[in-house]
Amino acid sequence: MIDPLTLPKAELHLHIEGTLEPELMFELARRNGVGLPYADAEAVRRAYRFSNLQSFLDVYYRACSVLIHERDFYELTAAYVARASAQGVRHVEIFFDPQTHTARGVPFETVVGGIGRGLAEAAQLGITSHLIMCFLRDLPAADAMATLEQAFGHRDLIFGVGLDSAEVGNPPRKFQGVFERAIDGGFRAVAHAGEEGPPDYIWQALDLLGAERIDHGVRCLEDRRLVQRLEADRIPLTVCPFSNVRLRVVDTLEQHPLAMMLEHGLRATVNSDDPAYFGGYVGENLAGVARALQLDDRAVVALARNSFEAAFLDDATRARHLAELDAELNVAG
């Protein structure tokens, strides 16, 4: 019998800052002398009642204030890696938001250095990884361009660029020049689009930003021509079921459009987004949505296989991960 929780998989939509569990948040706050507006870890969890994306971001950015030193970013990443390994993750492409930290005076090198040390530990566990730097779309494009210029000095660690934060009112076209510069400089490109924003944002991410993968993308089903484009071009969609429910993109997990996306032949994957805030890591997301939508083993395996096929992997590494998935299926058989 297949266990979605531990089935070998890749995670392609994971914000490392969104893995900050309340217990670690308080430990770092004490260590760094940062005040928090919560009495304890349980009070933090009670604050995780979000009405939309912005209400989440308000809490998320406040929590990030405890991340100051390289050790903090290392411990945050190492904690995620340990949890991910226990849930079958064999490859991860981690997002990070440098602007969230540099705006507070934390050096870019501190952020990248700490995360990089954590990912070195992932390699020791057999987990391959890439680091993707996201631009905050609610800030000016000039800020994103300045951040990109800093990233060029860390090409040994940073693999690609993305676009996240408050979507509504911040269309992808705002960052066209930034993404052109990034791609010209050798970075791979992805972008959040079609979560709260309209299907047109997905078109913009593809045609103006050159995004190779769409993060979220659940609103694509509102545009038949877009669905046909995504299916024909095999554009991956990094779907985050628990996130979509907690941020009120959909009302319940049973109403999630993932099954319909698969029926349309879309290359959907399941991911955890900001698991410390949304109630589960990637294995829990896959198991939860499989139960809610009554997905059969074939669909669950397809989602796991999609995750490796959608990843930025060389052929040999992809084949190795897929072979491990196949071996697991033969044992479950």
Query: Would you name the residues annotated as active-site residues?
Result: 195
| Residue 89 neighbours by CB under 8 Å, 6+ apart | 9, 10, 11, 127, 282, 283
| Residue 77 neighbours by CB under 8 Å, 6+ apart | 16, 94, 114, 115, 117, 118, 119, 121
The three-state secondary structure class of 157 is: coil
Give the helix/strand (H/E) hosting 169. none
Sign of the alpha-carbon dihedral angle for 79, 157, 63, 30 = positive
Q: How far apart are CA 144 and CA 142, in angstroms?
A: 5
Q: How far apart are CA 123 and CA 190, in angstroms?
A: 23
Rg over CA atoms, the chain: 19
Nearest-10 crossing angle of helices 224-233, 199-207: 40
